[in-house]
């Protein structure tokens, strides 16, 4: 895991300032969507090896939700964006 994460608001900060929620790919279905859609969202994960997008929160900094794009095998970090600006991120 990379030791430093560049927060779009706070600059380069140690990883320990952030908390990691998990996969940012599943998109929350509509409230009355069928059970299968909710099951997919809540339980099923693609879990690829390689490039992934994750929800992180900068809890010891700006407290914003971020989307960190990184490699889960080499630990390389490609991009960190605010979740509201990230396509397919928090909605």
Partner 1 sequence: MRYSALSIFKQALAGNLGWKPVWREPEPKPHYDVIIVGGGGHGLATAYYLAREFGIRNVAVVEKGYLGSGNVGRNTTIVRSNYMLPGNEPFYEFSLKLWEGLERELNYNVMLSQRGIISLYHNDSQRDHYTRRGNAMMMEGVAAEQLDRETLKRMLPFLNFDHARFPIVGGLLQRRAGTARHDAVAWGFARGADRLGVDLIQNCEVTGIRRENGLVTGVETTKGFIGCNRLALAAAGNTSRVGTMAGLKLPLESHVLQAFVTEGLKPCIDHVITYGAGHFYISQSDKGGLVFGAEIDGYSSYAQRGNLATAEHVMEEGVTMIPGLSRVRVLRSWGGVMDMSMDGSPIIDRTSIENLYLNCGWCYGGFKATPASGFCFAHLIARGESHHVARALRLDRFERGFPIDEAGAGTQPNLH
Interacting residue ranges for partner 1, rule: CB under 8 A: 1, 3, 15-16, 20, 22-23, 35-36, 39-40, 42-49, 52, 54, 72-75
Task: Tell me the Cα Rg of the chain.
Answer: 14
The strand pairing partners of 12, in sequence order, are 6
| Least Å from the CB of residue 42 to partner 1 | 6
d(CA 54, CA 70): 8
d(CA 43, CA 36): 10
The strand pairing partners of 13, in sequence order, are 5
| Least Å from the CB of residue 86 to partner 1 | 17
- Residue 48 or 88: the one with the smaller Cβ distance to partner 1 is 48
| Least Å from the CB of residue 80 to partner 1 | 14
In contact, 79 and 8? CB cutoff 8 Å: no
- Residue 43 or 63: the one with the smaller Cβ distance to partner 1 is 43
- Residue 40 or 82: the one with the smaller Cβ distance to partner 1 is 40
């Amino acid at each position: 895991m990379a030791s430093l994460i560049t927060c779009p608001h706070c600059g380069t900060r140690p990883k320990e300032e952030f908390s990691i929620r998990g996969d940012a790919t599943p998109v929350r279905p509509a409230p009355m969507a069928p059970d299968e859609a909710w099951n997919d969202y809540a339980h099923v994960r693609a879990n690829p090896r390689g490039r992934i997008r994750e929800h992180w929160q900068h809890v010891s900094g700006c407290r914003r939700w971020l989307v960190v794009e990184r490699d889960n095998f080499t630990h390389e970090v490609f991009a960190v964006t605010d979740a509201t600006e990230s396509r397919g991120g928090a909605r």
